[in-house]
Structure 1
Amino acid sequence: MATERILLTGATGYVGGTFIDRFVKSEEPILKAITIDALTRTDDVEQKLKETYGDRVNTIRWPGLSDLEFIEQIAANYDIVVNVGSGFFADGAKAFVKGLARRVKPKAPAPWILHISGCTNLGDRPLTGVAHPGRVFDDANSRATYDWCKEEDERRPWPQRTTEIGVLTLADELGVNALSLNAPAIFGEGTGLFNKQGIIVPVLMRYTVMNGYGFKLNDTANFDWVHVEDLADAYILLVKIILERYDRGIGYIPSGKDGIIHPSVGRVLHTEIFERCLDVCFAEGVLPREDTPKEKTIVLKSLQEITDDVGSGMVDMAELGWAGNKAMTGTVLPRLGWKPRHREEAWAKDFYDELKASREGRRGYVFDSCIGRKA
């Protein structure tokens, strides 16, 4: 019998809010009667969720990812944890695994954690380390990705990668099923009630408008991309599979050290993102201005300059994100039935949408919340 005990982190976030909205509105029979338990922090958030989604969303007040004892205790009540809050708090994420492990019983299907992580985990370091401009990580061989990430993190730790490897390793040790969606650049307007914006395109569009030009650290940096609705649908598909299958997806969905998968739809160079930003800004008359270049320009910058401007003060973030090759190929999700609806046309349209949103004051600079400084 399918479990109905599903716990969500990140209800106010970009991905989490979209997940809730699309889950509640899903027409899948097995999902229509299920209540999502969402971890929240404030009265106003709880009220808005209740007013919008009624009894389909049950709110649970929590102190955040730093209260490890609370996390373990609450997670012990669930069979599925959808952790799309922050991928940068290793101890907090592992506490969910430890809580789920209390539910592991002989001859019973083990619980699941569906984790979120990001493509900077895969980035090379072409400015301060070794460049791998042609490398592509394919989740058809997820164990090789796990092994590389583990070895790389021992050499040069990166909090998001440390968290991903920590969750998958601990889950294997404790008998919990764990899958990490190592997401690329996420774009599009979110459908949740709170944060509706992504990071990469809004940040680079804002940079373009403010400075009148784009920047680059090299010519090989790239991003894969996925629309936020398609990413949310990937998590919903995984939950559906776990609920529907007699084996709870165990052995069917990859897990643990084989559990890094890539929800990738397209790929683009960093410089191509700025080319699109500039094209839109020039087409809409936002650029050029008197104090900006009269031609579409992408300027070579230093790592420190970009760390200060759009790296949240973190050199690693700047190099992995804005200089790194992070190419990924996703084969697992399509095999499971994932059918992304937002492709090249939606990607191109997003640049117009982001410029419009920025001009209307609907975009803030939220990099710190993305990397977990406000978790």
Structure 2
Amino acid sequence: MATERILLTGATGYVGGTFLDRFVKSEDPTIKALIIDALTRTDEVEQKLKEAYGNRINTIRWAGLTDLEFIEKTAANYDIVVNVGSGFIADGAKAFVKGLARRVKPKAPAPWILHISGCTNLGDKPITGVAHPGRVFDDANSRATYDWCKEEDERTPYPQRTTEIGVLTLADELGVNAVSLNAPAIFGEGTGLFNTQGIIVPVLMRYVVMKGYGFKLNDTANFDWVHVEDLADAYILLVKLILERYDRGIGHIPSGKDGIIHPSVGRVLHTEILERCLDVCFADGVLPREDTPREKRIVQKGLQEIADEVAAGMLDLAESGWAGNKAMTGTVLPRLGWKPRHLEEAWAKDFHDELKALKENRRGYVFDSCVGTKA
């Protein structure tokens, strides 16, 4: 078991850092026997990782997801790639698949890539296109989700969806096992050494504190949600199943065009998130201020304004995220043994935690790093 080779992307990120921390600290006998290799970019990062995790981690210097030749060559040395860095750079993600494909041999178990993607892939277009307010994607029928995403991306390409479909399609073609955790809104404080903040609640909390009110593009936008530790544990569970099962998870874990999995725990309307932000701000005394509304208010806004203010200028991301219906049902992970620990109580508490973090200047905008435009 200790000879298994696992490569991690995103060690400095929110999900990747939490995965690495929980992986190294796991008391599970299978996981404790493993050393993980992490792709890094700087001496400072490497030193900090080594100081924290010692001989449980090796670091490998790379230039990022655009260094395709390096990625392919490196991935060829591994049994499992845990790709929880950016899900927005298709060529880089597919290079991992091409590298893993070099390990595909007759009568030998094929390698795995465990990819990360996001719920905005599933969002409808209620402002610029077609609305589907009652639609729910269920990973019990993952092929239908794949087919819809593929067709939608041919009509309207979206980088994160292009990447997800590209990884799963190429993996099927090359004989590599691939699963994509299509994550909803991820919340909670990460346990990694670097970025420990999520996106949705911190961004909306900052907006409310700055403006004194919330915003909406419509009344139907929604998010499912999952705690970052539970999401990290889902990846650890998949690694454990691959290593422990006689079939290496093949046929047990959905893969390829059947491999879109939803790690969903709860669901909420966009407006309900803003209402919670307003509630904690008013209860704390942060709001109202002299220059803000005296009552809790959610204001109708335009798509371009919201794209510029809270979506890094990306109109498609703004519409899918802040206006879209992205409802998902996750049945696969619970069947595999996933047991999320952070439920409604943790979700409610997170709004208080995020306001506190913002007041302590521990929060900022993160969409640039999310899409991979920053290290």
Measured against the shorter chain, the TM-score band is: over 0.9
| Alignment correspondent of 1:263 | 263
- The CA distance in 1 between the partners of 2:261 and 2:330, in whole Å, is 6
| Alignment correspondent of 2:155 | 155
| Alignment correspondent of 1:367 | 367
After superposition, where does 1:49-128 map in structure 2 within 5 Å? 49-128=49-128
| Alignment correspondent of 2:307 | 307
TM-score scaled by length of structure 2: 0.99
Paired letter, 1:171: A
Q: CA RMSD in A?
A: 0.7
Paired letter, 2:331: T
Paired letter, 2:59: T
| Alignment correspondent of 1:277 | 277
User: Which deviations, in whole Å up to 9, do the C-alpha atoms of 1:191-250 show, x marking residues without a partner?
Assistant: 000000000000000000000000000000000000000000000000000000011000
Paired letter, 1:35: I
- Does the 8 Å contact 2:142/2:261 carry over to 1? yes
Shift in Å at residue 2 of structure 1? 7.1
Structure 2 unmatched ranges of 5 or more: none
- The CA distance in 1 between the partners of 2:287 and 2:324, in whole Å, is 28
Shift in Å at residue 3 of structure 1? 5.0
SS in 2 for 1:134: coil
Runs in 1 of length 4+ with deviation above 4 angstroms?
none
Paired letter, 1:236: I
- The CA distance in 2 between the partners of 1:350 and 1:267, in whole Å, is 15
Shift in Å at residue 308 of structure 1? 1.2
Paired letter, 1:245: R
Shift in Å at residue 336 of structure 1? 0.2
Structure 1 unmatched ranges of 5 or more: none
After superposition, where does 1:158-307 map in structure 2 within 5 Å? 158-307=158-307
| Alignment correspondent of 1:132 | 132
- Does the 8 Å contact 1:3/1:79 carry over to 2? no
| Alignment correspondent of 2:44 | 44
Shift in Å at residue 33 of structure 1? 1.7
- Does the 8 Å contact 2:265/2:340 carry over to 1? yes
| Alignment correspondent of 2:24 | 24
- Does the 8 Å contact 2:224/2:264 carry over to 1? yes
Paired letter, 1:13: G
Paired letter, 1:50: K
SS in 2 for 1:73: helix
Alignment coverage as a number of residue pairs = 375
Paired letter, 2:363: R
- The CA distance in 2 between the partners of 1:290 and 1:36, in whole Å, is 53
- The CA distance in 2 between the partners of 1:373 and 1:214, in whole Å, is 27
User: Which deviations, in whole Å up to 9, do the C-alpha atoms of 1:30-60 show, x marking residues without a partner?
Assistant: 1102001000000010000000000001100
SS in 1 for 2:223: strand
SS in 1 for 2:48: helix
